[in-house]
Amino acid sequence: MKLVVIGVGYIGLPAACLFAKSGVDTVGISRSKEKVNKINQGIAPFEEPSLSELLREVLDSKKFECSSDLEGECSDADAVIICVPTPLKNKGMDDTALVEASERVINSVRKDVLIVIESTVAPGTTYKIGDMLKEKGWEAGKDFYLAHCPERAIPGRTIYEMVHNDRVIGGINEESTEKAVELYSKMVKGEIFKTDAVTAEIVKLSENTFRDVNIALANELAMICEFWKVNVYDVIRFANRHPRVNIHLPGSGVGGHCLPIDPWFLTEQYSKAEIIPVSRKINDSMPEHMVRLAVQLLDEYKIKLSDAKIAVFGVAYKKDVNDTRETPAKKVVELLRERGANVVAYDPLVKECDFVEVMDLRSAVEGSDAILIVIDHTSFKNIEWNEIGEMMRTRNIIDGRNLIDKLPNFRMKGIGRGDLKIKEEKK
């Protein structure tokens, strides 16, 4: 069988390679000729553990290639998976790329084709694409099959999770679900659950919304613990020893391409939602809280942000990845700049980004007045803080991720760290 995967980004490329590895003749499609050439030379356009090796393996075995000829490749495809971006627009889904890709696919495929949407979509989208196919005069379950099979893999473990996680597949009718399950069974080792398209869409969005709402609770607990001058990380650690409690971790903000977006897709058409938008608001306000803590700490020592050099540690959207999509660091940098601070950044995983200059460790901290730990990369644990302190103008740290405990020669504040008593630590 021939499979065509439209979109070779963070999800499309690993998925295409994994199908190819499981023996399916697979073609990945990208508009960008430069990207196509790179991929065909075995160069993955982004970093993901073991992706490069997998890509080279499937190119060598001739089971996979990349092309920009969407229409040509779709014309004799048995199955097409659509993995194009579905960004956020006005607290809802921007379906421009999805609709355009779907139109081009629909106009080029032959009868009997299976189309699967893997992109994360707002409820009802798969049926909408189904209607576009029906306008062609084609009958679902007879002339075409259409299903939603959301991805669930976490960046950094994509290859493993794509194969081993359980999957949920929902077709626009039972025949479509069956066809899609048949395809994914070739690659997925986890259990596959069959349902309808809207259920599958809501399942995917609920997963990330659960995480977002849970983190919002953790962030609110952080505020309560700052008020009571205790450590929220202790509170959560102890509470989670209860067999039915699993509170996530607070921090400087929620980023990435999923958690800040999917809750809005889920509530796009349901205007009565309450807890979901409030959670989004709480999580979106965490960069502001980070800056508020910095202002409070520096104020205590009569340092104005407008005179200060601030080093932001971590510009990726979360620990141990080099991806900066929707990173809370961007908001933190913007807010600090609004107050006149000179802001630089240190992130050993991100070479450059478009909102702040990323420097080596020494250049970033040299002459600085405060370090703001926005992201807690594991390598930060090896930092010799006392050596860093020697290079700083004034030794202030605002820890947004509970990376370090009390440091004797530093003045510190931290999200949810009401136990850090600034005044008493003053040197």
**Interaction site with ligand SAJ (CB under 6 A):** 120, 151-155, 207-208, 211, 215, 248-249, 251, 254-256, 258-259, 317-318
Distance in Å, CB of 137 to ligand SAJ, minimum: 35
Question: Do residues 177 and 171 touch, judged by C-beta distance below 8 A?
Answer: yes
44 phi/psi in degrees, rounded to 5: -75, 135
Number of other residues whose CB lies within 10 A of the CB of residue 110: 12
- Between vectors from CA 252 to CA 251 and to CA 256, what angle results, nearest 5°? 95
CB of 334 to ligand SAJ, least distance (A): 17
Of the two residues 135 and 354, which places its CB atom closer to ligand SAJ in the complex? 354
CA dist., res. 4 & res. 308, Å (int): 53
Nearer CB in complex with ligand SAJ: 120/176: 120
- State the burial class of residue 81 (Cβ atoms within 10 Å of its Cβ: 0-12, 13-18, 19+): buried
Q: Provide the strand spans (E) within 172-316.
A: 192-196, 309-313
Which residue is it, tokens 């809280």? 289
Complex with ligand SAJ: residue 258 or 266, whichever CB lies closer:
258
- φ/ψ of 47, rounded to 5, equals -90, 135
**Residue closer to ligand SAJ, measured from CB, 197 or 305:** 197
State how far the Cα of 254 lies from the Cα of 212, in Å rounded to an integer.
8
Of these residues, 258, 309, 318, 330, which one is catalytic? Answer: 258
- The secondary structure of 196-238 as a DSSP string is EHHHHHHHHHHHHHHHHHHHHHHHHHHHHHHHTTSBHHHHHHH
Contact 190, 157 (CB under 8 A): no
Q: How near is the Cβ of 219 to ligand SAJ at its closest, in Å? A: 8
Catalytic residue list contains 309: no
* Residue 75 token pair: 């014309």
Taking the least distance from each CB to ligand SAJ, the nearer of 171 and 255 is 255
State in angstroms the smallest separation of the CB of 378 from ligand SAJ: 13
Reply yes or no on whether 258 is catalytic. Answer: yes
Asked if 73 and 39 touch (Cβ cutoff 8 Å), the reply is: no
Question: 70 vs 168, which CB is nearer to ligand SAJ?
Answer: 168
Question: Which residue among 63, 204, 309, 318 is the active-site one?
Answer: 204
Q: Alpha-carbon distance 363 to 353, whole Å?
A: 17
Q: How far is the CB of 347 from ligand SAJ (least distance, A)?
A: 14
Least spacing, CB of residue 124 vs ligand SAJ, in Å: 19
Q: Which of 320, 321, 262, 312 minimizes the C-alpha distance to 287? A: 312
Residues designated as active site: 204, 258
